[in-house]
Amino acid sequence: MAYAALSSLMHTLQQLLQSKSPLICTGDTSIQQHVESLYQDLCDLQVFLENTTMEVKDIEDVKVLEKRIKDVVYKAEDRIDSSLGSIILLDNGDDDRVRACKAFNEELQQVEKEVCFLKKEVMVIKFNKHIGFSKLPESATSFPSSRQSTTEEKTVVGMKDDLNTILNCINAQTKELIAISVVGMGGIGKTTLARKVFDDSMIRSQFDKHAWVTISEDYNKRQMLLDVVSSITGINQEIMSNDKLMETVYKGLKGRRFLIVIDDLWSTEAWNLMRRIFPNDYNKSRIILTTRLKNVANHASSSDFPPHDMSFLSLDDSWNLFTERLFKKDPCPPQLEVTGKHIILQCQGLPLSIVVISGLIGNIERTHDNWKKIEENLNSFFGTASEQCQAILSLSYNYLPQYLKACFLYIGSFPEDMEIRVSKLISSWIAEQFIKARSNTRLEVVAEEYLQELTDRSLILVGGRRANGRIKTCKIHDLLRQMCIREAQIENVVHFTNNYVSDGINDHRRVIIPYLIQDYFRDHPEHRNGKITTRSLIFLGRQSYVVTGIYYWPYSISDFKLLKVLDAHAIGFDFSRIIPQLVHLRYVDARVNDPSSLAKLFNLQTIIIYSQKKNVQLPTEIWTMSEIKHVDITDVDMPNPPLGEQPLFLNNLHTLAVKSSAVVLKILRSFPNLNKLKINDVRSTEWNAFLDCLLVLEGLVTLNIQAAASLNSPFFLSKDIFLPNLAKLSLNSTFFPWEDMAVLAKLPNLEVLKADNAFWGTDWKLDEDVVFPELKYLGVHHGNLEIWEATSDNFPMLEELNLSWLHFLEEIPESIGEIMTLRSIEIKDCNSAVITSAEQIRENQEIYGNYEFQVRFVIY
């Protein structure tokens, strides 16, 4: 990927241009001149790509040109990084280091000449107009608005009959457990239909238990059982055996009426396993399953309820779906209607094609000429609905702005149906240099805008949202993922391996490894022969990797000298002896028993490490690593900063997760741009000092406090906390008196409050002047609370209320039901009287016309 390759190399050169960079050879001004010249040429190439668009006839020519740029830049980056690695590993003043600097200078000049020649090639092509290049419409290149994506809204245009068929099966008088199969090709709307039924508040109220499980084509028996148990119990049970997991599900459902959705079922074997764990108590329990395979649907369906075949949308329904996605409630402009209907006709009634093409059209200027170009592009493709869908998906990818392409392909490399944590995805994008810096805007904010734009284009799906409405997880449709895998491997952006991989990964730029493949590392000695250019190794899964025997295959990772991203948390292997050789690392998530091994990793941006040794700390060199933005070391200590020196990286640190200590409390107030703080094991003797630190951390948006208080030594909020930007606050084991809630109410922008054993006392009474003006989510978990007195005026903006393990609480205040913004209440293992009061609130909400209001119960 040419654009991403340019970004990565440009970032390396930016580091070299820093006045205090430890990577540069001191005393050689010519190096800086060559770096500056090379950087400018790369900037020119990137601007060229940003201003490039194409007609369908130009696609292959443009791809050839992009490949040429990418190949040259990849090789240039490899040569520069190899030379830099030699310099970093040598000490200042060493004769070998002087020779390494000279070799680096020579390499740099050669790369400069090659890139300069490449730039001339590109400019000749541009000015000869060999390919149709033009500036993209402003609406296609500008950053997306802050509007919330509607991708996750389950539009059921044209599915009314399908919906009624499924509802009739759900409400049938048959008392025995029945399986309702929905069958159809990928992209036809099976999951959308099932989700519409599953989320319907009237349907949910009929069942005691609800669970949604996605199986996928390459299903894993254990992961499937873990997902079912987690959906039903809300608890992660990874330590259980498979038999125990099956028993837990069976007992959890026994005697209760349940609704289970099994999405994306591909085999009768998977169904046979699932069916065994669902008891048939003749209480009208129901299972909905979706599948692309008719034989699986026939095998699973109950005899009196044959599979429901999803049909393609009519032209009228297709047009209605298109206009609803594109114009909401407004009509399509008359001058665009004829062309628009010709475009929709090419979608052949497949909802996914319609949604994706509307996402593409929604991001270009709405003119007749632009729509006509889309129509002409689609007219050049012919084939079945599935083949036409693939053509539409490819077209949407080709029309993506350059800055989004690598981000999109990266998402497609994750396992099928996996919900991807957005926080980790964004950190990976940044480490890979996919995110282009913008003045006065944090990279994380820009990355969220990229993600939002991809959802607005209907290329990725929102899996779940945080309490404040921001995207928490995302995923990608199977058909889009297949396209991503093809494009990513062609472009050498990222390579997705599996158990049966047979080719080496030496030449793959980024590698994602989802399964146990220690035999792969052991049986491919070519890793130790020749040059390995892999830049990212990412291990996914839980308990999927076994490091046993005489041959410890992770040691072969030390041969990946150019590695920039190492995500090996799942392995559980100690990387202390490997890390020092990977001097180009920007992102590390792994077990590191000896953190001093990070001493020469001057490129680090993200540190997520854990240690099985006690009383270990990061190296003192951490204070000179100016690139560091995220540090998560909750069982590793922070070192004291060097005396008399202002630490370099403090101004860039955005996220810190650390355990409390005298050193942490001393340095905490020096992090002016800290955005997110998690601090563990705060003791009562440290509490006041910690509150003093908060007074200067005015930029905090998220704060998580895990205290070490007890009933005998509770904490107090004896002073006001001035955190004007704080939006999310999580408190654990602080045991504040309920009166201290009044202090938290003074936080002007607090939207999310999660309290777990955070307050103690039987009575919580909120005076009328205690108002949480922006609070949208309130979670209260554990404690001895019995009486809660509050009015709707105390929480005027509340949307979600979550109460857990409050065994003594008598009821939810009735006036909570008068909050007009309230959308849901979730009760988990509370007093039965709390459930009764929640039901009463639901009835009141329906009286107010809020039929979408939901009450969810989880009972153990």
Beta pairing class for 471-475 and 461-465: antiparallel
Single out the residue of 623, 625, 660 nearest to residue 641, CA to CA: 623
Q: Under a CB-based contact definition with an 8 Å cutoff, are residues 181 and 307 in contact?
A: yes
**Confidence (pLDDT) at 19:** 55
pLDDT tens string 594-608: 999 999 898 899 999
Q: Under a CB-based contact definition with an 8 Å cutoff, are residues 824 and 856 in contact?
A: yes
Q: Under a CB-based contact definition with an 8 Å cutoff, are residues 25 and 104 in contact?
A: yes
Q: Under a CB-based contact definition with an 8 Å cutoff, are residues 343 and 376 in contact?
A: no
Q: Under a CB-based contact definition with an 8 Å cutoff, are residues 499 and 515 in contact?
A: yes
Residue 357 DSSP code: H
Please give the Cα distance from 297 to 308 (Å, whole number). Answer: 9
Please give the Cα distance from 275 to 793 (Å, whole number). Answer: 49
Tell me the backbone φ, ψ of residue 754, rounded to 5 degrees: -115, 120
pLDDT tens string 442-457: 899 999 999 999 988 8
Please give the Cα distance from 569 to 239 (Å, whole number). Answer: 18
Tokens 């509340």 belong to which residue? 798
Q: For residue 810, which amino acid is it? A: E
For 115, half-sphere exposure in the C-beta direction (CA atoms, 13 angstrom radius) is 32
Please give the Cα distance from 803 to 814 (Å, whole number). Answer: 15
Quick one: what percent of the chain has pLDDT higher than 90?
38
Question: pLDDT: is 125 or 597 the higher one?
Answer: 597
- Of 191-195, 416-420, 449-453, 782-786, where does mean pLDDT reach its minimum? 416-420
Q: Is the pLDDT of residue 213 over 70?
A: yes
Please give the Cα distance from 789 to 785 (Å, whole number). Answer: 11
Which tokens go with 387?
């083949």
Q: Under a CB-based contact definition with an 8 Å cutoff, are residues 186 and 172 in contact?
A: no
What is the band of 501 on the pLDDT scale with cuts at 50, 70, 90? very low
Please give the Cα distance from 510 to 489 (Å, whole number). Answer: 10
- Of 492-501, 529-538, 638-647, 832-841, where does mean pLDDT reach its minimum? 492-501
pLDDT tens string 550-584: 446 778 888 899 999 999 887 888 999 999 999 99
**Confidence (pLDDT) at 131:** 42
Sequence-separated (6 or more) residues with CB below 8 Å from residue 241:
none
Please give the Cα distance from 55 to 555 (Å, whole number). Answer: 48
Single out the residue of 236, 297, 248, 244 nearest to residue 271, CA to CA: 297
| CA angle (266, 270, 275) in 5-degree steps | 125
Tokens 């209760």 belong to which residue? 256
Tokens 């609800």 belong to which residue? 210
User: What are the helix (H) ranges across 642-789?
Assistant: 662-667, 687-694, 741-744
Q: Under a CB-based contact definition with an 8 Å cutoff, are residues 710 and 687 in contact?
A: no
Q: How far is CA 63 from CA 164, 356, 408, 509, 577, in A?
A: 47, 22, 17, 18, 41
**Confidence (pLDDT) at 658:** 96
Q: Under a CB-based contact definition with an 8 Å cutoff, are residues 725 and 704 in contact?
A: no
Residue 779 in 3-state DSSP?
Answer: strand
Q: For residue 829, which amino acid is it? A: D
Which tokens go with 379?
């007219």
Single out the residue of 343, 456, 463 nearest to residue 400, CA to CA: 456
- Of 50-64, 301-315, 364-378, 686-700, where does mean pLDDT reach its minimum? 50-64
Instruction: Round the average pLDDT of the chain to a whole number and report it.
Output: 84
Please give the Cα distance from 198 to 834 (Å, whole number). Answer: 24
Could you tell me which residues are beta bridge partners of residue 731?
A: 705, 755
Sequence-separated (6 or more) residues with CB below 8 Å from residue 503:
none
Instruction: Classify the phi-psi angles of 433: left when phi > 0, otherwise alpha if psi is within -120 to 50, otherwise beta.
Output: left
Q: Is the pLDDT of residue 495 over 50?
A: yes
**Confidence (pLDDT) at 142:** 36
Please give the Cα distance from 100 to 587 (Å, whole number). Answer: 26
| Rg, Å, the chain Cα set | 29
Sequence-separated (6 or more) residues with CB below 8 Å from residue 773:
748, 796, 797
Burial class (CB within 10 angstroms; exposed 0-12, middle 13-18, buried 19+) of 475? buried
Q: How far is CA 539 from CA 652, 699, 732, in A?
A: 28, 34, 31
Which tokens go with 89?
């590993």
Q: For residue 284, which amino acid is it? A: K
Q: Is the pLDDT of residue 610 over 60?
A: yes
What is the band of 288 on the pLDDT scale with cuts at 50, 70, 90? very high
Question: pLDDT: is 95 or 341 the higher one?
Answer: 341
What is the band of 648 on the pLDDT scale with cuts at 50, 70, 90? low
Q: Is the pLDDT of residue 768 over 90?
A: yes
Long-range contacts of 682-685 (CB under 8 A, 24+ apart): 682/706, 682/707, 682/708, 683/707, 683/708, 684/708, 684/709, 684/713, 684/715
Q: Is the pLDDT of residue 712 over 80?
A: no
Single out the residue of 297, 315, 313, 325 nearest to residue 188, CA to CA: 313
Q: Is the pLDDT of residue 839 over 50?
A: yes
| Range with top average pLDDT, 324-328, 374-378, 708-712 | 324-328
Please give the Cα distance from 490 to 234 (Å, whole number). Answer: 41
Could you tell me which residues are beta bridge partners of residue 804?
A: 781, 828
- Of 118-122, 135-139, 785-789, where does mean pLDDT reach its minimum? 135-139
What mean pLDDT is predicted for residues 149-163?
64
DSSP 45-76: HHHHHHT----GGGHHHHHHHHHHHHHHHHHH
Please give the Cα distance from 832 to 829 (Å, whole number). Answer: 9
- Of 368-377, 419-428, 518-527, 700-709, where does mean pLDDT reach its minimum? 518-527
Single out the residue of 599, 631, 606, 652 nearest to residue 22, CA to CA: 599
Q: Is the pLDDT of residue 843 over 90?
A: no
What is the band of 378 on the pLDDT scale with cuts at 50, 70, 90? confident
- Per DSSP (E only), the strands in 763-834 are 763-765, 777-781, 787-789, 800-804, 824-828
3-state secondary structure 131-194: CCCCCCCHHHHCCCCCCCCCCCCCCCCCCHHHHHHHHHHHCCCCCCCEEEEEECCCCCCHHHHH
Is pTM beyond 0.95 here? no
What is the band of 820 on the pLDDT scale with cuts at 50, 70, 90? confident
